[in-house]
Chain A
Amino acid sequence: MSNTASGKTPLPGRGPEQARARRRGAHPLARFLVRRLLTAVLLAWGITLVTFVLTNLVPGDPVAANLGQRALGDPAIVAQWRAEHGLDKPLWEQYALHLQGLLQGDFGTSQQSHRPVAQDLAEFVPATLELAGAAILVSLVLGVGFGVLAALRRDRLSDHLLRVLSLVGISVPTFWLALVAFYVFFYRLQITPGSGRVDPALGGAPPVTGLQTIDALLAGRWDIFASAAGHLITPTLVLALYTIGLLTRFTRSAVLEVLGQDYVRAARAKGLPGRVILFRYVLRSALVPIITVAGLAFGSLLSGTVLVEAIFAWPGIGQYAYKSATTLDLPAVMGVGLVVGVVYLVINLIVDVLYGVIDPRVRLQ
């Protein structure tokens, strides 16, 4: 029996904090959200600074990477190229110009494609968002679902099977899994479509969101939707397996931990139905550690997309990043860095906000 008397700092109900909150008039959750958003904006600015500095620190001369041998021999051409790309100005001025451009949606011009980087990104980012988003969704549903199931059926057959699954998910490297899946399902069994996002013969749905599956649904084109979903399924599962394994394991232990809490026994003593206890009492508490792990796992899932995109010829930002980096296409690299940074930021923001939504102790602090 628990004899610990933990967390008993007596907080008077009418403390100065509550009084202050009432005077300001705003709903505590709203104030919490505003605070988090302001922090996010500050961080976004930090990301522009970091990507800029890092990109300019890389050893390697973009001039050499972009001009041919002949042109490199001619100092006039080199100087002109440098001036054209603003590389002759001091670094801080380059950053100021860069930031000014960013605010106007100008990410510079790719030195390789000679197109605006913003345009390139608009083309490649949605493909990655679709893949990563699907993988995140699948891993959340399956990972948390499996974890809860394993906890409720602790030490029974399904628990053991799920433990094996999560172990496999965690220990198999993504690139290996991608290759094997591609070989088995496409090359050998021919049950999944090969590369790309959709059957080229179908063309594609008119772009609205840039996500093929959603656009197909919006256009009412079931044939395109089926093709897009078919293309999506294998890379999604490959990408999600690690996170599924991780979340299954974490959810299981989080749920077991909460099941042993006093307040769960108190809820049983109130005669509440089992499903209410599970969803209202157990999952709510267990979600806090689960969200923490999920946020971190989604970060590593994003880096996994580079490999998966390469193997499934998925025209996403991973491919674009690889090409830009190997050609020292600095504006493109910065653009990619910025997008990835902002995606991390958004994931963290969502995690933070969820903490506040779930746990009143966070938003009322």
Chain B
Amino acid sequence: MTLEITGLKVSLGGRDILRGVDLHLEKGRVHGLAGESGSGKTMTGLAVLGLLPHGARATGRIDLGGRDLLTLPPRELNKVRGGQVAMVFQDPATSLHPMLSVGRQLTEHMRHHLGLGRAEARARAVELLGKVRIPGAEEAYGRFPHQFSGGMRQRIAIAIALACSPRVLIADEPTTALDVTVQAGVLRLLRGLCDELGLAVLLVTHDLGVMSAIADEVSVMKDGLVVETGPRGQVLREPAHAYTRSLLDALPGEPGGPAEPGGKA
């Protein structure tokens, strides 16, 4: 078990946002997290990295390799961030710094966490850009985010997340802000990286179609609780919870058998 969240509760401003979330991520597996907007998917991801909004209180346990991330001192937590757990955000148009070059954003945490020199970091960055299939990786290294399309920017964000070889990757709706035509390509990339690098991936999405295409396990959240969890086939074909059934019914296509996301990269 790579990352184990048990009984995670988060309250913010007197409101209980998460009410006891349990999630288990495993090496080389993609865990899909679905649920309507506001159900607490993003907060769950942020809690793992200790990035909850100011004033939020989190209790429970988030276990990574025997250590509880919720009680880690700030210095140690900063080593985990980027180093062992990385995150890809929803909108690459806002999650990359517009004034820093792609190379800078790819190498700065490598140099900080791994202590790499300038040249080593650069070589690794170019290699990573190739790995996420950015054409012309050498040239892309010196460019700025605004010179790339949305899909390319999200690939760059993924490369940044993978730079320090984390064990866990949290991807918070990584395709929601992208053109439909490039969504499938980014998802395929995530799946491939998960298999190749043995990552434990938490893929947050409200799109069950996405889920059925690449997730191994699926959890469904509602009002700060995980209401259903299990292998993809089981959850998507024989949902135990009424809420999951209603999500599935809302999908276009034949009921209970969501379609593959179409389009090309």
Q: Which A residues have a C-beta under 8 Å from some C-beta of B?
A: 1-8, 10-15, 18, 261-263, 265-273, 276, 280-281, 284-285, 358-361, 364
How many Å from the CB of B114 to the closest CB on chain A?
11
B228 CB-CB contact with A under 8 Å: no
CB distance from B125 to the nearest CB of A (A): 13
Contact B94–A361 (Cβ < 8 Å): no
Interface residues on B, range: 35 or more
Q: Do A270 and B93 touch across chains, with their CB atoms under 8 A apart?
A: no
* A4 contacts B91, C-beta separation under 8 Å: yes
- 26 A-B pairs with CB atoms under 8 Å apart are A1-B42, A1-B90, A2-B94, A3-B37, A6-B91, A7-B94, A11-B146, A13-B147, A13-B148, A13-B149, A15-B147, A263-B98, A265-B51, A266-B157, A267-B97, A268-B81, A269-B49, A269-B51, A269-B87, A270-B109, A271-B78, A272-B82, A272-B109, A276-B108, A358-B99, A360-B101
With known contacts A263-B94, A270-B81, A361–B143 Cβ distance under 8 A:
no
**Interface of A, helix, strand, loop or mixed by DSSP:** loop
- Taken together as a complex, chains A and B put the C-alpha atoms of A258 and B155 apart, in Å, by 24
Return chain A residues, CB-CB under 8 Å to B221: none
B134: nearest residue on chain A (CB-CB)?
A13
- Chain A residues within an 8 Å CB radius of B81: 268-271
Contact indicator B95/A11 (Cβ below 8 Å) = no
The CA of A285 and the CA of B98, in the complex, are separated in Å by 9
0/1 per residue, B133-147, Cβ < 8 Å to A?
001100110011011
A272 touching B150, Cβ below 8 Å? no
Establish whether residues A263 and B95, one from each chain, have CB atoms under 8 Å apart when the complex forms.
yes
Which residues of B58-87 have CB atoms within 8 Å of chain A's CB atoms?
Answer: 78-83, 86-87
Nearest-neighbour CB distance to chain A for B141, whole angstroms, equals 12
Residues of B within 8 A of A (CB): 37, 42, 49, 51, 78-83, 86-87, 89-91, 93-101, 108-109, 112-113, 135-136, 139-140, 143-144, 146-150, 152, 157, 160, 176-177, 179
Query: Are A272 and B89 touching (Cβ within 8 A)?
Result: no
Nearest CB of B to A14, in Å? 8
Give A91 to B125 CA distance when docked, in angstroms: 66
Q: Which residue of B lies closest to A282 (CB)?
A: B97
CB distance from B81 to the nearest CB of A (A): 3
Instruction: Indicate which residue in B42, B98, B150 contacts A8 across the interface (CB closer than 8 Å).
Output: B150
User: What is the CB-to-nearest-CB distance from B119 to chain A, in angstroms, rounded to a whole number?
Assistant: 20
- CB of B149 within 8 A of CB of A262, answer no
| Pairs A-B, 3 closest by C-beta atoms | A271-B81, A10-B149, A271-B82
Partner of A271, one of B79, B99, B136, B147: B79
Q: Name the residue of chain B whose CB is nearest to the CB of A287.
A: B99
Q: Which residues of A contact B89 (CB under 8 A)?
A: 262, 265-266, 269
New contact pairs (17) apart from A263-B98, A266-B89, A266-B157, CB-CB < 8 Å: A1-B90, A2-B94, A8-B177, A11-B146, A13-B147, A263-B94, A266-B96, A270-B81, A270-B160, A271-B82, A271-B113, A272-B78, A272-B108, A273-B112, A284-B97, A360-B146, A361-B99
From residue B107, how far is it (CB to closest CB) to chain A in Å?
11
With A6-B94, A13-B147: A360-B78 Cβ-Cβ less than 8 Å: no
* B47 nearest CB across to chain A (Å): 12
Chain A nearest Cβ from B202, distance in angstroms = 13
Query: Judging by beta carbons under 8 Å apart, are B94 and A261 in contact?
Result: yes
Q: Which residues of B contact A12 (CB under 8 A)?
A: 149
Q: Which residue of B lies closest to A363 (CB)?
A: B144
Instruction: Say whether A263 contacts B90, CB under 8 Å.
Output: no
Rounded to whole angstroms, the CA-CA distance of A1 and B113 in the bound complex is 28
B147 and A10 contacting across the interface, CB-CB below 8 Å: no
**Residues in B whose Cβ lies below 8 Å from that of A359:** 98-99
